[in-house]
Chains A and B, each alone.
Chain A
């Protein structure tokens, strides 16, 4: 029984990957052939040669980088205050930051669409990045604030008493102590932005085409091999991140919650 459950666990994890890989390197595999008859990289090459594929990946990457950086800069001081200080209104600040995680992206996106059209941010990289920021910021704040709640400020006091100035303390102590959580928080923000479809669609308005937008279009009625290749490119960053941050991920699993 135990082995069955575990087998199921890994099959469910590995099957989609295997499926994408097999489909990516076949062509003309039609019903009712149970297995592909020939292997080819033609479709793969064709997809990669299509400027929209690389363009989409590049735009998605740029947006995700902007979003992670902005999230980090905005979240760091906020998380520190929430994790280390008791103050009047703390609960309200928590709720405000919690709100974007429950307000549906659909409603946020539709409203922002109107706002950004008015202020000229619609259809721009910056506009899409700002929209993504709403959904990444709460998670970045929560991840970092829970790290700050475990953080012992006396390390900073110790450095101060040893003659370090505030700047030196920030770079030599605070950043060093927070590095693991900062890495995790940045990667989360990156991944949430990377896989964001709806907000990109509503704010990008056909001008900003990222990989998920391409994938969605393909999946709505395209060639299985093309779908598989785009899926593969799409899940590559998450897969890499998970592989490299396994341990941290185990600790922060509950904070990631649901975000894709």
Chain B
């Protein structure tokens, strides 16, 4: 009897499914980005879409650089805010014995982005709950007086969404590091005469920084490439890169379709580069 099947055999089904679907989808994406669109019998390789996008002249390309800037701004700001808040939350949580708080954090993590964005919309829009309360308090008279917090041109709504929604993920990473450290460091530092603030500054933060940074990069990649939230909480111009890419991918004009594909591939490349850096950081940590 063979008690242990080969590991390769065991991995084969999962790997084949992933490789075939991922490989084929990337293959077709690249094909279309080069203007080879079989459905309409167009099979001449052309770099037009790349040229249009990068030079900022095509149907979709005209917005490319603006959108890239917008996406980078929104992703960077959200990542920085959520990292800082996550660090605070984790340091606070690590001093708590209460498991319920960790559970609450996990609850946030499991809350779908789509629902969270919807809630923000109901809460922060110009006729939302907060605007109504402001009106009731006599601060504003008409909805237009309320500051534009969602669907605004600076991405405030999107940043607000991610800054809060990404806290749990990052906080759990930091918490994981803090809890895996031998309990002693903090005690030793205290014993050596370090104050509460000094222990935080010189003992805790250096310990968690590499993991937090690696996690923050993943978060950056996620925000940078996600569609739903900027589509719901953003406006028509400027719009995030994924929104732009999908809009033109679904465009009946097939030249625009290739440009949508090019933008999607550029997003993928950027996210993969960020992920590689994050992985390298995590490897170095070990």
* Cross-chain contact A81 with B11 (CB below 8 angstroms): yes
> Chain A 203-217, CB within 8 Å of chain B: the 1/0 string?
000000000100110
Is A241 on the interface with B (CB-CB < 8 A)? yes
Q: Are B225 and A104 in contact (CB under 8 A)?
A: yes
B26 within 8 A of A: yes
Quick one: which of B104, B136, B265 contacts A107, CB cutoff 8 A? Answer: B265
In this assembly, does A162 line the interface, its C-beta being within 8 Å of a C-beta of chain B?
Answer: no
B272 to chain A, nearest CB (A): 6
A residues 25-77 in Cβ contact with B at 8 Å? 30-34, 73-75, 77
- Assess A238 versus B110: contact at CB under 8 Å? Given A9-B101, A12-B164: yes
Q: Does B119 contact A (CB under 8 A)?
A: yes
A150 within 8 A of B: no
A219 and B10: CB pair below 8 A?
A: no
Chain A contacts for B13, CB-based, 8 A: 73-74, 77-78
The minimal Cβ–Cβ distance linking B34 to chain A, given in whole angstroms, is: 13
The verdict on A198 contacting B228 (CB below 8 Å), with A32-B135, A108-B22 known, is yes
Cβ contact within 8 Å between A258 and B242: no
Q: Which chain B residue lies CB-closest to A119?
A: B24
Q: Does B159 have its Cβ within 8 Å of any Cβ on chain A?
A: no
Residues on the B chain within 8 Å of A180, using CB: none
Contact of B267 among A74, A106, A130 (CB under 8 A): A106
The verdict on A110 contacting chain B, using a C-beta distance below 8 Å, is yes
Residues in B whose Cβ lies below 8 Å from that of A96: 15, 18-19
Q: Which residues of chain A from 116 to 158 have a CB within 8 Å of any chain B CB?
A: 117-118, 130-131, 133-134, 137-138, 141
Complex Cα gap A98–B227 (Å): 21
Query: Are B249 and A110 interface neighbours, CB within 8 A?
Result: yes
B232 close to A5 (CB less than 8 A): no
Q: Is A189 in the interface zone, CB < 8 Å from B?
A: no
Does B29 have its Cβ within 8 Å of any Cβ on chain A? yes
Chain A residues lying within 8 Å of B136, measured Cβ to Cβ, are: 32-34
Stretch among B58-66, B168-176, B182-190, B200-208 lining the A interface: B168-176
We find that the number of chain A residues with CB closer than 8 angstroms to chain B is 85
Q: Is the CB of B264 within 8 A of A110?
A: yes
For residue B39, CB closer than 8 A to chain A, the reply is yes
A87 to B172, CA, bound (A): 31
Cross-interface CB contact of A81 among B10, B29, B114, cutoff 8 Å: B10
Q: Is the CB of A16 within 8 A of B268?
A: no
Q: In the bound complex, how far is the Cα of B115 from the Cα of A105, in angstroms?
A: 18
Contact B132 A32 (CB under 8 A): yes
Closest to B133 in A: A34
Which residues in B have their C-beta under 8 angstroms from that of A85? 7
B254 touches A (CB below 8 Å): no
Query: Within the assembled complex, what's the spacing in Å between the Cα atoms of A15 and B242?
Result: 29
Instruction: Flag whether B178 is at the interface (Cβ < 8 A).
Output: no
Main secondary structure of the interface of B (DSSP, over half): helix
Say yes or no for A256: interface residue by CB 8 A criterion: yes
Interface string of B43-55 (1 = CB under 8 A from A): 0000000000000
Distance (whole angstroms) from the CB of B230 to the closest CB of chain A: 11
Asked if A254 meets B173 with Cβ closer than 8 Å, knowing A9-B104, A103-B268, A216-B114, the reply is yes
- Shortest CB-to-CB span from B126 to chain A, Å, is 8
A250 to B135, CA, bound (A): 41
Knowing A107-B25, A249-B106, say if A78 contacts B11 (CB, 8 Å): yes
Interface residues of B in 203-232 (CB under 8 A from A): 218-219, 221-222, 225-228, 231-232
Tell me, yes or no, whether A227 is within 8 Å of chain B by CB: yes
A111 adjacent to B11 (CB under 8 Å): no
Knowing A99-B18, A242-B107, A256-B110 are in contact, say whether A227-B118 is a contact too (CB < 8 A).
yes
Shortest 8 CB-CB contacts between residues of A and residues of B: A111-B25, A104-B225, A16-B119, A32-B135, A34-B136, A81-B7, A77-B10, A111-B29
Mark A residues whose CB is within 8 Å of B: 2, 5-6, 9-10, 12-13, 15-16, 19-20, 23, 30-34, 73-75, 77-78, 80-82, 85, 87, 89-90, 93, 96-97, 99-100, 102-112, 114-115, 117-118, 130-131, 133-134, 137-138, 141, 160, 166, 191, 195, 197-198, 212, 215-216, 219-220, 224, 227-228, 231, 234-235, 238, 241-242, 246, 249-250, 253-254, 256-258, 260
Residues of chain B having any CB pair with chain A under 8 Å:
1, 3, 5, 7-11, 13-15, 17-19, 21-22, 24-29, 31-32, 38-39, 89, 92, 99, 101-119, 121-123, 127, 129, 131-133, 135-136, 143, 164, 166, 169, 172-173, 176, 218-219, 221-222, 225-228, 231-232, 242, 245-246, 249, 260-261, 264-265, 267-268, 271-272, 275
24 intermolecular pairs with C-beta atoms under 8 Å apart: A6-B101, A12-B164, A20-B122, A74-B17, A77-B9, A78-B10, A81-B10, A93-B15, A96-B18, A97-B18, A100-B22, A106-B225, A107-B264, A110-B261, A111-B25, A114-B28, A134-B17, A134-B18, A134-B22, A160-B3, A220-B231, A227-B121, A228-B122, A254-B173
